[in-house]
Structure 1
Amino acid sequence: MHTQYLAHTVADPLSTSLKYRELLEKRRSIRFFSEKPVSKQIIENILMTASSAPSGANKQPWTFCAISSASLKAKIREAAEKEEYVNYNGRMSDAWLEDLKKFDTNWEKPFIDIAPWIVIIFKHSYELKENEEKATNYYVNESVGIAAGMLISAIHNCGLVTLTHTPSPMDFLSKLLERPKNEKPFLLLPIGYPAEDATVPELKKKDAEEVIVWFE
């Protein structure tokens, strides 16, 4: 069954595209958060924006766990730092550690319990029917990746900041949040306002000539 598509139109597509480009070019990954509260309704709005993403066969293979509980954030930080300590002290290659030097990062992750919210995205490797039979999901990583990108854009659009964090391995998140066996942790994002003294590394994005190939 199909229904009529209601097109989204703008008066000046060129100007609109430039303004959106300029908006997202100001986005940065932030590791220093303010404790200033963010309303639950704002978080719900940005998560539902992400959940409007396209997905393979419209299976929508994601769950967003939104956490403001201080005690639960503390447990997640403790478990994440346990894994990250191992990463920074032997699990990561020398080349990887060298590439991270410009970010001045280490195994400590205070943003997990300082940010007012953390959102953990779980991907559904498959669906579980009521009788415990498995149902196939399609293009799961691609679908969840698109939703994550839309989430990051929505966060920036309302004046908040975030960081894509992937403590590895991430299985502890499934246990702490008691997620079903078909869900696997995909990404952890602290969400909030930047600290007044927040800093970011000086980085350069690739130019158009480096990332676009035109065929006209």
Structure 2
Amino acid sequence: MSESEQHVPLTPRQVPFTEAAGAVRAFTDVMLTRRSVRDFSPEPIPDEVIETAIQAAATAPSGANVQPWRFVVITDPERKRRLRLAAEAEEREFYGRRASEEWLHALEPFGTTWRKPFLETAPAVIVVFEVHQGPHSPKPYYVKESVGIAVGLLIAALHHAGLATLPHTPSPMRFLNEVCDRPREERAYVVMPVGYPAPDAHVPAITRKPLDDVIIRH
């Protein structure tokens, strides 16, 4: 197959030069309101919203276009409970034995503990898996980078829909293969409860670094 047969014409999103700054400002203003939330309402969320957000996440670039991701959506109460119990078992070990004093000190301002009730309270939990080479999957390239970009798009899409998220990474996460009925070649990347914030939800008082602290111009 020739190079010309492997490519198709690009149909770019066209934003007039004079409107580009306003377009990215509008996106940024929405994202500046995003916070990781631990207090969820049990109010149901539409399946279509979750599915469309995952569709957005799956537009992420990936090494060799292998698209090495799997999004497992859990809404069944019993399976969410299994997930919570297994995650809390690992978190007890983390807070009680694995974490260094320095790490625990860094977490103190956020008031986190091994208890993870949000894994049951949130109406949906999305577990994102990296898909590695296996009987039904090809070898991926830059898998963590690819999946990380997809998760970022997922968080942004869900936030635009008015939903709260919490990227949660109990460690180790191998128990998630059993909870989610996934094969060994899939490895959990992040657990993300999704839902509307509880009416009385609170978040830690944090600030973002100024732009001049994170951008370098040459």
- Structure 2: unaligned runs, 5 residues or longer: 1-5
Is the 1:29–1:161 Cα contact (8 Å) retained in structure 2? yes
- Structure 1: unaligned runs, 5 residues or longer: none
Partner residue, 1:80: 87
* Alignment deviations for residues 188-211 of structure 1 (CA, whole Å, 9 cap, x no partner): 000000000000111111111111
* Alignment deviations for residues 103-153 of structure 1 (CA, whole Å, 9 cap, x no partner): 101000000010000000000122434xxxx73210000000000000000
| Runs (4+) off by over 4 Å | none
Residue number among 185, 189, 192 corresponding to 1:189 in the alignment:
192
Number of corresponding residues: 211
Partner residue, 1:3: 8
Any residues of structure 2 matched to 1:38-187 within 5 Å, and which?
A: 38-129=45-136, 135-187=138-190
- 1:24 equivalent in alignment to 2:27: no
SS at match of 1:88: helix
Is the 1:127–1:137 Cα contact (8 Å) retained in structure 2? no
Percentage of identical aligned residues: 41
TM norm structure 2: 0.94
> In structure 1, how many angstroms separate the alpha carbons of the residues matched to 2:150 and 2:30?
19
> In structure 2, how many angstroms separate the alpha carbons of the residues matched to 1:7 and 1:88?
48
> In structure 1, how many angstroms separate the alpha carbons of the residues matched to 2:75 and 2:174?
20
Instruction: Give RMSD over aligned pairs.
Output: 1.0
TM norm structure 1: 0.95
What letter is aligned with 1:64? F
> In structure 2, how many angstroms separate the alpha carbons of the residues matched to 1:156 and 1:212?
24
* Alignment deviations for residues 172-194 of structure 1 (CA, whole Å, 9 cap, x no partner): 10112221111000000000000
